[in-house]
Amino acid sequence: MARQTQGNDDFEYRSYRVWDTPTRLFHWINAICVLALIATGLALLYDDALGLSAAGKILLKSIHAAIGYVMGLNLVWRFMWAFYGNRYARWAAILPGGRGYLAALRAYATSFLSGEPQQFVGHNPAARIGVSLLLLLLFVQLATGLVIAGTDLYWPPFGRWFAQWVAATGVDPTMVLPGASDLIDKASFQAMRALRKPFVAVHEFTFYALAVTVLFHLAAVVVTELHEGGDITSAMFTGRKILSRKPTDSP
């Protein structure tokens, strides 16, 4: 602990344990997966401009889906950990709402605009909105992505059902593979693609929304760290924040 005096203000720097190991692991695994999904997703959206062959598209879809499974398992783990983690990793500290939340949000906004923002060990009231939006968008991407993986690649958990739907009469559904047009019933395949269409639309829209939200998230981290301090970025490596004033959500 260190004390520093500046003018009439007395700052006492203190280290607070905030992000436990599972939460930090989730964050960095999720960050890597999201960046990889954005990159492969953009390549899939502009596959014609890139001149990808049919086999190349299937390979890229497979890579994109495989990364999506990793992201999905990581996300499900985070949802579960929100019931068992430390106080800053739990739903009560993540989701906006609850008793006194609006008052806390107004107080934080007022302090931020005044130039002396409140400091928090965990997420501040505004950050809780952003984090919840990110988790929601990731969940929508996971749900729609699983359906698309089932229709495109016949991968679990829905792939077997889609393969049974489109398999031609007398064809073993396990033999139905991407691009195997001679093994499918064309009418059933078209019906399956019609069912798939709204999921693709939602997936693409959420893709762009997620990309924009990630940019806002990064900008908010930079602005908050410059304006408030607290070593927000390094805390996701060390698990600790160093604050100059008593945090509003201190233990």
Distance CA 146, CA 158 (A): 7
Q: What is the pTM of this model?
A: 0.89
Contact 238, 6 (CB under 8 A): no
Is the CATH number of domain 21-151+187-229 3.40.50.720?
A: no
Q: Is there a contact between 141 and 203 (Cβ–Cβ < 8 Å)?
A: yes
In whole angstroms, give the CA distance from residue 138 to residue 158. 19
Buried b (16+ CB within 10 A) or exposed e, 157-183: eebeebbebbbbeebebeebebeeeeb
Q: What is the pLDDT of residues 78-134, one digit of tens each?
A: 999 999 999 999 999 999 988 899 999 999 999 988 888 888 999 999 999 999 999
Q: What was the pLDDT predicted at 98?
A: 86
Q: What residue spans define the domains of the chain? A: 21-151+187-229
181 Cβ neighbours under 8 A, 6+ residues apart: none
Q: What is the DSSP letter of 167?
A: B
pLDDT for 163-189, tens place per residue? Answer: 999 999 999 999 999 988 889 999 999
pLDDT score of 218 more than 70:
yes
Mean local confidence (pLDDT), 199-208: 96
CB 166 within 8 A of CB 176: yes
